[in-house]
Amino acid sequence: MPQVTLTVNGKQHTVEVEGRTLLVELLREKLGLTGTHIGCDTSQCGACVVHVDGISVKSCTQLALQADGANVTTIEGLAAADGTLHPMQEMFREHHALQCGFCTPGMVMSAIDLVQSHPEGLSEKEIREGLEGNLCRCTGYHNIVKAIAAAHPLMHAKAAE
């Protein structure tokens, strides 16, 4: 079987995979990083979103082999070593932007990329449109939108430090 070498949450791994293995399967089954979820089989739901070289990617749309040499961040890699939550995680908690928690990892990873790529600010409409690729069945999105809006200034203030 072919090998893939990649860095996940700062740690390098070399893993044997089948050619058809998806990145999400590598993360969940080979590396035990079960925080990244699989919610569909048509790349619609976004529960599997991770960052590949800093960009949000649906990890069910990428073969594991395509991630060779990549730097991957999953939901497990967001909080600081001392457990301090990322501002997006903190705002999701503060604004009750999660219920069952299943879409949450992908939602948080998408939201971080959305905020990072819009330093100028995000209107409510832009946040809603930016979440097109992430389904949530519990919250009605209301509080997710609030959490992302609240995280925006925190993340950009932190980036400016």
Residues near another protein (CB under 8 A) are: 18, 20, 28, 33-42, 44-45, 47, 74-76, 78-79, 85, 89, 92-94, 96, 98-105, 108, 124-125, 127-129, 131-132, 134-145
Provide, rounded to whole angstroms, the least separation between the CB of residue 144 and another protein: 7
Provide, rounded to whole angstroms, the least separation between the CB of residue 66 and another protein: 18
Provide, rounded to whole angstroms, the least separation between the CB of residue 38 and another protein: 7
What is the DSSP secondary-structure string of 65-92?
A: GGGTT-EEE-GGGSS-TT-PPPHHHHHH
**For residues 57 and 160, which CB has a smaller minimum distance to another protein in the complex?**
57
Contact 76, 9 (CB under 8 A): yes
**For residues 62 and 139, which CB has a smaller minimum distance to another protein in the complex?**
139
3-class secondary-structure state, position 100: coil
